Amino acid sequence: MTALARPRQSLDHVTDWVFDLDNTLYPRECNLFAQIDTLITHYVMEVTRLDFDAARALQKDYYRDFGTTLNGLMHRHEIDPDHFLSTVHAIDYSPVDPHPDLVEAIAALPGRKFILTNGDTGHARAVLKRLGGDHLFEHVHDIRAMTFVPKPHRQAYDGFFALHGIDPTRAIMFDDLEKNLVVPHEQGMATVQVVAAEGFVHEQVEAWELGRTTEPHVHHVTGDLAGFLRNLP
């Protein structure tokens, strides 16, 4: 399938709504993922015996190059993915506030709603419970369902489409990482990048994680997901 020549401004063709989880359904500014990020660094330290700074650099290299640090660790160090996931998701979820406006906006969307996340289902359910939206989604398609091949790899999306009978040309993808929207665009999905507040910086966040682009694979950009959904173009 060829990429769309230009994005559709109207989204009235969409029947399947696909959302990333982390830093998308909750704001990056609440720093929930920063907890996971720190636990990942310590996990890399334990596996590699590197000091903190070297382990952190390797962690981010794997995240950038393999889609997830987990994928890099599996390829380079043959770790047990279930042990990794249970370890790095042992966090405090209280920074995620209830978001009734977002829950209402998602509930009002016509069609099916899915989560497509490089995290695991337990983590997703914990986040959704905090938001007040654990009833909203038809399915959480997590890293295990992807057979540990994460976004942005095409296999992650193809398996998701096939399992749920999704026609990408009638679907839309929301994600905070612009690189995760390349394959959706190529497959014909509408795409929305959900970004942090202008000027947001954090010592644990690399510049590429906050990157925005004018490339054609990002059709829409919003820093207010609930507002975007309430005022669909």
Domains parsed from the chain with CATH numbers: 16-28+96-230 (3.40.50.1000), 33-88 (1.10.150.450)
Q: According to the model, what pLDDT value does residue 1 have?
A: 36
Q: pLDDT above 70 covers what percent of the chain?
A: 95
Residue predicted with more confidence, 132 or 204: 132
Q: According to the model, what pLDDT value does residue 212 have?
A: 85
Condensed to tens digits (0 to 9), the pLDDT of residues 180-208 reads 999 999 999 999 999 988 877 777 777 77
Does the pTM surpass 0.85? The reply is: yes
Residue type, 198: E
Q: According to the model, what pLDDT value does residue 3 have?
A: 41
Q: According to the model, what pLDDT value does residue 5 have?
A: 43
* Beta carbons of 35 and 90 less than 8 angstroms apart: no
Q: What is the mean pLDDT of residues 9-17?
A: 91
| Averaged pLDDT of the chain | 93
Q: According to the model, what pLDDT value does residue 233 have?
A: 66
Q: pLDDT above 90 covers what percent of the chain?
A: 86
Residue predicted with more confidence, 114 or 7: 114
Q: According to the model, what pLDDT value does residue 211 have?
A: 82
Q: Among the listed ranges 3-7, 54-58, 166-170, 189-193, which one has the minimum average pLDDT value?
A: 3-7
DSSP secondary structure string, the chain?
-PPPSS--S--TT--EEEE--TTTTS-GGG-HHHHHHHHHHHHHHHHH---HHHHHHHHHHHHHHHSSHHHHHHHHH---HHHHHHHHT----TTS---HHHHHHHHTSSSEEEEE-SS-HHHHHHHHHHHT-TTS-SEEE-TTTTTT--TTSHHHHHHHHHHHT--GGGEEEEES-GGGGHHHHHTT-EEEEE-PPTT---TTS-GGGG----STT--EEES-HHHHHHT--
Q: What is the mean pLDDT of residues 145-164?
A: 97
Condensed to tens digits (0 to 9), the pLDDT of residues 213-229 reads 889 999 999 999 999 99
Q: According to the model, what pLDDT value does residue 8 have?
A: 57
